[in-house]
Structure formats: C-alpha cells, structure tokens
Amino acid sequence: QAQLVESGGGVVQPGRSLRLSCAASGLTFSSYAMHWVRQTPDKGLEWVAVISYDGSKIYYLDSVKGRFTISRDNSRNTLYLQMNSLRADDTAVYFCASPVDTPYFDHWGQGTLVTVSS
Amino acid sequence: IQLTQSPSSLSASVGDRVTITCRASQGISSFLAWYQQKPGKAPKLLIYAASTLQSGVPSRFSGSGSGTDFTLTISSLQPEDFATYYCQQLSSYPHTFGGGTKVGIK
C-alpha cells in the first residue's frame, strides 16, 4: 500500500525559510513524478511544483518561482520543498501527491501546515 | 488555464441526482480530474481523463465532457457523499484546480 507522509511544517516569520519533506513507502519512488499542492481557505487548492521521476524536469507556480525549490532523493525515497523568503500568503496546508496507478493525482499525503506570521 | 466550477455550493437530499460543472478558459482535451475532499483530509481522486472512474469509486459517480466543458454527476446522493468537490486540469502547467463545490445536506 503506497503511502506518502509529509513533515516539516510549522510557524515561521516572514522572510525566513522552511523545508518540507515527503517520505514515500510502498511504491517504487524513483519511477514517479512528484508534486506539491497547497490549500488555503481563501484560494482553495493550488498546485505548487512538480519534479520528474529522475529530477531532470521541474516546473513551478509563478508565484513561488525563485523562492521555492523542489528536489528529491531517490535513495531515501523522499521529496523535498525548500521554501525561502516566505510570505504571509504562503500560509497553507502543503500536500505531496503522485500519479502512481493512473496519470493523475491518485496518491496524496495527509498534509503539513505552514503558517507564516510574525 | 482557469477552471470555473459551478455552483460553488449546493444543498441536496439523500437520493438526489447532483450535477457539478467545470469550465476551462481554454481547451484541455480530456485532461481533467475530479476529486472529493472531506474536512481535514486530503483530496481523493474520483474521475480521471474526464470520464474514467478511479478504481474503488462507486459507480454512482460519473464524469463527462471534453474541450472546455465538463460535468461530474452523482446519480443518487448518499450520506457519505456530502463533501467538497474539485476539478483539476492536467493539460498544461500549472495544473490548476477549480474553486470547489461544497455539497451540503438539505
């Protein structure tokens, strides 16, 4: 049974950094693209970034380009999201998600809350 | 690509037929998914490629459409179906989501 578990969320001041992790188990992690999606009450669900199975292709939401970096360590079955220069509007629950059984987001983590506040 | 869902909320009774629409700002072929989300939980994939039922999802859920106009239908609403539903396009990046439709109890 494939499972994704996020960690690393918390409260951080504006302008500071935070790194999220997503640990995968029960799947051949190195075979699948991985995505980050965030959710706020105001904006709903918002796709953030994707990294291909081997890390060679990466795409970002425009509003996080230059501030967020998605990466993966296939030897550790772990996805990362390095978030720098955090802003109040980055406050959200962050989910990792992956197309495992279908080409769509059929597996999701439980989410980790990031709160950007002074 | 922007996705506009309607309605944003609705009230229905058990046994009702419920229809939710999702309109894309440009053509996305059939690269559309529907998700169900309950409070405090991650979204759950219901329908992908506009009309393909995800494994394990009850057959009362169905999807249709292509191009710019899509529909999610619940043929007979069950108590466990009260939730928020989202569409998502995977035609191009960013993989945008619709604003959601909250299905409540009448």
Query: In this complex, which of A46, A62, A110 lies closest to B42 when CB atoms are compared?
Result: A110
Does the CB of A17 have a partner CB in chain B at under 8 Å?
no
Query: What does the pLDDT read at residue A41?
Result: 84
Tell me what pLDDT residue A13 has. Answer: 98
Chain A segment 60-89 residues within 8 A of B by beta carbon are 61-62
pLDDT the model gives residue A86: 98
pLDDT given for residue A68 in this prediction: 98
Instruction: Give the C-alpha separation, B89 to B98, whole Å.
Output: 9
Q: Is A55 on the interface with B (CB under 8 A)?
A: no
As a whole number of angstroms, the distance between CA B1 and CA B28 comes to: 9
pLDDT tens-digit map of B84-105: 999 999 999 999 999 999 999 8
pLDDT tens for chain A, 118 residues: list them: 899 999 999 999 999 999 999 999 999 999 999 999 999 988 899 999 999 999 999 999 999 999 999 999 999 999 999 999 999 999 999 999 999 999 999 999 999 999 999 9
Query: Per-residue pLDDT tens for B36-85?
Result: 999 999 999 999 999 999 999 999 999 999 999 999 999 999 999 999 99
Whether B43 and A109 lie within 8 Å, measured CB to CB:
no
Distance CA B28, CA B91 (A): 5
Judging contacts by C-beta atoms under 8 Å, the chain A residues touching residue B55 are 101
Is A40 part of the contact surface with chain B (CB cutoff 8 Å)?
Answer: no
Count of CB atoms within 10 A of residue B25's CB?
A: 12
Residue A43's pLDDT is what?
84
Peptide linkage before B39 cis (omega within 30 of 0):
no
How far is the C-alpha of B61 from the C-alpha of A4, rounded, in Å? 26
- How much is the pLDDT for A42? 84
